[in-house]
Structures are given as structure tokens and as C-alpha cells.
Structure 1
Amino acid sequence: MFSQSTKDISKTKASDTKSTEPVIVKDKELYYDSHLVIDEPIPSSKDSNNDNTIYNTAEIDSKPTFPGGFEKFYKFVDNNFKYSDENIDLKDKKIYTTFIVEQDGALTDIKILKDAGYETGAEAIRVLKKCPRWIPGEKNGKKVRVLYSLPITLK
């Protein structure tokens, strides 16, 4: 049930109201700062290396590398890559990948841009997830997150 006033509004005089003009309420204007970044943590003095920015390889001082270099990386891929069907000739076919090398060297956000078919993209993701931690990239002497693009040539 609702409670309603029993006051008779019809007897209210115009002089009893504050104004006979309609009241216009304006919305507050919203100001946007073009330099405002949402959802990024504010750096604290305790942890000076919590930069969540993802850099590309052109913006950093040293690029991420696989421990032992790319020769060992490709050897790791060759030793761990399993073909779904041994009768399919995938020699010299390429799988184009991107991933983020984190500040601790872990690979995250692994994506396949183009694969060679026959579930080679899924297998490349499995192998990259199994990969040992990389040596992270650095900018101004600090380890940073780096977006890395890498073709994997099947042998």
C-alpha cells in the first residue's frame, strides 16, 4: 500500500509556490582528459618495476631472447613439435605467431596469425606454452613486457 498526502492541492495558491517558471536542471558537463589511461595501476614506490605497458621490439633497448639463442629455440621446437599425421608433407611450411614475453620471461597471450593447416597452429601453441622462460626484454635497464612476432618454420 502507498501512503498519500491528504492535503488538497487544488487550494494551493500560485503565491505559495516559489516560482511559476519551470525549473531547468542542467546536466553536469563531463570533461575528458585525453591523457587519461584507464585500468593501469599507479606505480608505487615499493615496486618500481610494475610497468604493465606492452612494448614492441623497436621501442626497447634489448630484445627478449630464448636461453641459448634462436638456434636452440628452433631445436627445442623441432624436438617437441608433433605432427598429427606423419604422411603429410609440411616441410618448410611456416606458422606465424605472436606472443608477449613477460617481465619474468614467461610467454603469454600466444596467438597464431597463420598456420600451415592440419592443426599445426594448436600444436605451435602447445609447444610455446611448454617453452622454458625467455630472457626478457629491457628498456632503460628495467625488464619490460614485449610483444614478439615469430615465424616457426616446420622441418
Structure 2
Amino acid sequence: MNTKLITIIATAAFALSAYSADAQTTPAKSPKVAEVTLSQTRDVYTSSVEVLPHFPGGVEGFTNFLKQNINNKKAEAPGRVNITFVVEKDGSLSDVHAIGRNTESKAAEEAIRVIKLSPKWEPGKQNGQPVRVQYTVPVVFK
């Protein structure tokens, strides 16, 4: 078996530390600025929402997607890369980039490339309406 298999660390169906079950907050904004410059299409939820976005097929589907699309030869060494992105109201992904350590590594480049190939996700929902949600997933190369 290939020792450089990609694995995904998934905790509680992607409920990462940025999403706490007890705090339901809306995007931070100044009331004066919101009236003039922000529209609802630009708001991004960065804490919890009623329904988190999810990959079609759940954690298992996402893991299989990564295994099928990651080119392990492009990762120079084993390690973990944290990828953050916004799941848009239509399920597409935007603003995909690495955060934390290893942001300039070959593994980060490969993880970003593959996340950008992702099919549309089921969007997050707040009050029954699709909303933009910032999402972070750790990708581990072994």
C-alpha cells in the first residue's frame, strides 16, 4: 500500500473549532456601513450556522474525492495543510487558500489545486436560506 496516502482529519462531520454549537452569530458589521456598502450577498458567516455546508457524500465522499485527485508525488514531505475557503450560496467554492504553517509548500499548492476541483457542496443555511460560510479543512499527507 502506498505510504503517501492522503487522509483527511474530520472531526464531528467537519465541525471544526471555528464552529461552536452553542454560539449562533451573524457576520460582524457596523449598522451604518451595512446600510451603505454591504449587501447580503457579500456577508460571510465565520462562526456557526444552523446547517453547516457539506460535501456531497459527506466525510467519506470528501475523503474519496481527495484520494482520487491528489497527486502524492507533488507533496515534498509528509505533513498537514489547513485549507480555508468560502462555500457560496450556490455551493461553489471561492477564496481557496492555505492558512497557518506550510502555506508556501508544494503540499499546500496541491491541496489548493484539488479543493478548487471540488464539485459543488451543499451550502450552509441560516433561517432556512442558503448563506455564504467560511470553512476550513485540514489535509494530511503521509
Same fold (TM over 0.5): yes
Q: 2:97 aligns with which of 101, 107, 111?
A: 111
Whose strand fraction is larger, Structure 1's or Structure 2's?
2
Q: What root-mean-square deviation, in Å, do the aligned CA atoms of Structure 1 and Structure 2 show?
A: 2.1
Whole-angstrom CA distance in 2 between matches of 1:79 and 1:126: 13
- Going from structure 1 to structure 2, the CA distance change for 1:89 and 1:81 (only over 3 Å counts) comes to same
Aligned-pair CA distance for 1:57: 4.1
Structure showing greater Rg? 1
1:106 deviation in Å? 0.6
Confirm or deny that 1:147 pairs with 2:134. yes
SS of the aligned residue for 1:110 comes to strand
Instruction: Return the offset for 1:152.
Output: 1.0
Which residue identity is paired with 1:77? L
Q: 1:62 aligns with which of 34, 48, 51?
A: 51
TM-score (norm 2): 0.68
TM-score for the superposition, normalised by structure 1: 0.63
Q: What is the alpha-carbon distance in structure 2 between the residues aligned to residue 136 and residue 85 of structure 1? A: 30
Structure 2: gaps spanning 5 or more residues: 1-29
Distance 1:101 1:136 in 2: 6
The answer to which structure, 1 or 2, has the higher relative contact order (CA under 8 A, 6+ apart) is 2
Q: Give the structure 2 partner of residue 25 of structure 1.
A: none
Given residue 41 of structure 2, which amino acid in structure 1 is its aligned partner?
Answer: D
Residue 126 of structure 1 pairs with residue 126 of structure 2: no
Q: Which residue does 1:35 correspond to in 2?
A: 31
Question: What is residue 70 of structure 2 aligned with on the other side?
Answer: 81
